[in-house]
Amino acid sequence: DAGVTQSPTHLIKTRGQQVTLRCSPKSGHDTVSWYQQALGQGPQFIFQYYEEEERQRGNFPDRFSGHQFPNYSSELNVNALLLGDSALYLCASSFNSGRVNEQFFGPGTRLTVL
Amino acid sequence: GNSVTQMEGPVTLSEEAFLTINCTYTATGYPSLFWYVQYPGEGLQLLLKATKADDKGSNKGFEATYRKETTSFHLEKGSVQVSDSAVYFCALSPKGNTGFQKLVFGTGTRLLVSP
């Protein structure tokens, strides 16, 4: 059983460009959350998707947007990249059972903005 | 608001030493509490969790007890191994949104264990 997978592993962009990161959840999971982890910091919640809709959003600007597909996979899009967007982007999946369930994390995508 | 404070690292120990990593939290109500571990080049793995006061989470020799009175969830292990070297994150999930679980993380504590 494959766990959470993310692509690409690494990405280098320049300021002002746009980027799309992809995530496939663990089998049986229907909810995907995205986190940004700056170097030396803990992950920060960006947003969560369930039933193809954004359920809640953290303190991130509108430049950050996402999508969830019918197969539960998800994309994170960042427009007008800034140097400060350089970070490890983590995707986490879980199953919405109405109880506290474990979020399973992928290995992340390392984004470098030059 | 919700926040998590962890002791700064790195924590440097010799193999078989006793480990404590302190974690305190601020939250509305009674959140669920977690410890995640991140090995070099990998994503986060759940180490243990506790969902209500006085619960003790345990896994792989690690333990943490949910202390409501001190708003703490300190991580302990009686005898660390070199393979425990990693970054440890304390996190909370605010109560009341069990179908939606946003995790709020601390800044992480790096543990280095030498032979």
From the list B15, B90, B59, B62, the residue with the least C-alpha distance to A43 is: B90
Q: How far apart are CA B14 and CA B23, in angstroms?
A: 22
B100: distance to nearest CA of chain A, Å? 7
Segment holding B105, helix H or strand E: strand B104-105
Given pLDDT bands bounded at 50, 70 and 90, which one contains residue A2? confident
pLDDT at A1: 65
CB distance from A90 to chain B under 8 Å? yes
pLDDT tens for each residue of B34-63 = 999 999 888 899 999 998 899 999 999 999
Q: Do A99 and B98 touch (CB under 8 A)?
A: yes
pLDDT averaged over every residue in chain A: 93
Residue A101 predicted with pLDDT over 90: no
What is the pLDDT averaged over residues A55-76? 96
Q: How many CA atoms lie within 13 A of B59 on its CB side?
A: 12
Q: What per-residue string of b and e applies to A77-92 under the rule 16 or more CB within 10 Å gives b?
A: ebeebeeebbbbbbbb
pLDDT, tens digit, for every residue of B53-106?
999 999 999 999 999 999 999 999 999 999 999 999 999 998 765 556 789 999
* Residue B23: both structure tokens together: 């974690």
| CA–CA dist A76, A90 (Å, integer) | 10
Q: Which of A95, A87, A102 has its CA nearest to residue A44? A: A87
Cβ–Cβ of A43/B44 closer than 8 Å?
yes
pLDDT in tens, B17-34: 999 999 999 998 889 999
Across the strands, what pairs with B111?
Answer: B11, B86
Mean pLDDT of A99-107: 83
CB-nearest partner of B51 from A45, A94, A100:
A100
- Could you tell me the CA-to-CA distances from B16 to A41, A43, B4, B9, B36 in Å, in that order? 28, 30, 28, 19, 21
pLDDT score of B100? 66
Q: Does A4 touch chain B (CB under 8 A)?
A: yes
* CB-based contact B43 A48, cutoff 8 Å: no
Which of B93, B102, B107 is closest, CB to CB, to A42? B107
For A74, the token pair is 């998800």
Which residues in chain A have Cβ-Cβ distances shorter than 8 Å to B107?
Answer: 40-42
Residues 6+ apart with CB under 8 A from A81: A13, A14, A15, A16, A17, A18, A19, A113
3-state DSSP of A61-111 = CCCEEEEECCCCCEEEEECCCCHHHCEEEEEEEECCCCCCCCCEECCCEEE
**Chain A contact set for B36 (CB, 8 A):** 105
pLDDT > 90: what percent of chain A?
87
